[in-house]
Amino acid sequence: MSSPATSSDREKVVSKLPGSLRQALKIRAAQHRVEIQVAVEQGIHAWTRLASSPPTIDTAGADSFSTFLPEGQWETFRATAAERGVSLIQGLAQSVQLWLDTNPAPHVERPDIPQRVVVCNQKGGVGKTAITAGTGEALAEDSNTLYPVRVAKQLTKALRASNGESADDRPADDPLDVENLPGLGLRVLLVDFDPQGHLTNQLGATPLPMNGDSLTNHMAGDPKGDLRDLIVSVEEESFGGRLHLLPACTDAFLLDVRLSAVRAREAALERALAPLEGDYDVILVDCPPSLGLSMDAAAYYGRRRDGERPGRSGVLIVVQAEDSSADAYGLLTTQIDDLSNDLALDIDYLGIAVNLYDGRRGYIATSSLEGWVEIKDPRVVGLIGDLKEQKEAVRMKRPLLTYAPRSQQAIGMRALAREIA
């Protein structure tokens, strides 16, 4: 039933376990950040110490299951199972179920102040909308399901490759650089703050009509109803009703003009969204390609509030690995820094997301990526490739993470979400 393992203090054990228990064990161990073998070890230890056997578990259809246990534990387990008159398969199933019962799924923490992420760059075409949507989707995925996530070393490898260094002789999308992690399970609001409405259209929603209510009306102090009534849910099973969208309205083209007549106009977005904040853990704002008053309002909304830790809310800047993004970056950061200094605000930079990257484009792409990395403050927190799945998802009006959940872009979006969460 068991054979010696390469480890000096553990032995390989082969038995059987029902598929449902094996999957639950895999997910729960990941949620608690413990190795599966440690979870099984703890379950068996607790089971052998019970005064009597727990209820019988249906083990019909159990499949092969192997793990590594401390030397001698399996023999103790076998002896206990014999004393209780249960099979090894039944005893193992009871042990795993006992561990699951004593290690329930952790609750998702709900913050007192929602995290506010302002996704911006006044240069069009860098993919702000794709980053907003993908990050929001990753934040909302089911916490009781495992999803492939790019681990940190993958980004490091790609950056090294851009410098011409060895990347361990493995491609940047090597599956060994991906691990399965539970979704974050957060309640997320995506705010389409761009009058062009790309975020609204990408997610298959309908832009708000000009003659109705809109975020612009609420910011201008002329609401026509409750802003909650405008919100739509992104109905995909993996989001479980946690991902919502505040659609765009083309009246936002007039926002700067209307804000010019508003008192304390830099706080207009915050005043409009404040009634919604208690319903969400994270609010992401997809900004227009502009350096006007609307950008001031968005940056102000992302400022650090009293009692909020540094780097939790703030500005996420989306760029491409090409020269024009660098010029736009300088203009944007100047505006944000001026606003911060003029109003004595703390506006944190959450990082730089390099989007639509393709190292095959040669020196322009790789040297530009190196330039972004050299900034260091803010640092590069995401590298998303220029691949077909995102374009296909847009064409299908589907969220990327449900249209192509295992694509390299989806895997990268999950990594980015964890960097800023």
Q: Nearest-5° angle of CA 419, CA 139, CA 154? A: 40
**Is residue 353 in a domain?**
yes
**Dihedral pair phi/psi, residue 276, rounded to 5°:** -95, -15
Per residue in 241-300, pLDDT (tens digit) is 999 999 999 988 889 999 988 999 999 999 999 999 999 999 999 999 888 899 999 999
Rounded to whole angstroms, the Cα distance separating 312 from 112 reads 13
Q: Write down which residue in 102, 128, 143 finishes a domain.
A: 102
Please report, as a single letter, which amino acid is at residue 127: G
CA dist list (Å): 27 to 53, 97, 356, 408, 421: 25, 13, 32, 22, 20
pLDDT digits (tens, 9 = 90+) for 28-41: 999 999 999 999 99
Residue 419, CA atoms < 13 Å, CB-side half-sphere: 25
Question: What CATH number does residue 259 fall under?
Answer: 3.40.50.300
CB 18 within 8 Å of CB 65:
no
Domain carrying residue 58: 2-102
- Evaluate whether residue 108 is within a structural domain: no
Distance CA 96, CA 25 (A): 7
Three-class DSSP category at 22:
helix
Give yes or no: residues 197 and 277 share one domain: yes
| Residues 76 and 27 occupy one common structural domain | yes
- Boundary residue ending a domain (49, 70, 102): 102
Which residues lie below 8 Å from residue 297, measured CB to CB, with a gap of 6+? 219, 259, 265, 266, 267, 268, 269, 270
Q: Where is the domain boundary, 102, 125, 147? A: 102
DSSP state of 145: S
The better pLDDT of the pair 160, 132 is held by 132
- Domain assignment present for residue 122? The answer is yes
Q: Are residues 94 and 216 in the same domain?
A: no
Global pTM value: 0.86
| Same structural domain, 138 and 213 | yes
CB 317 within 8 A of CB 378: yes
pLDDT tens-digit map of 324-344: 788 889 999 999 999 999 999
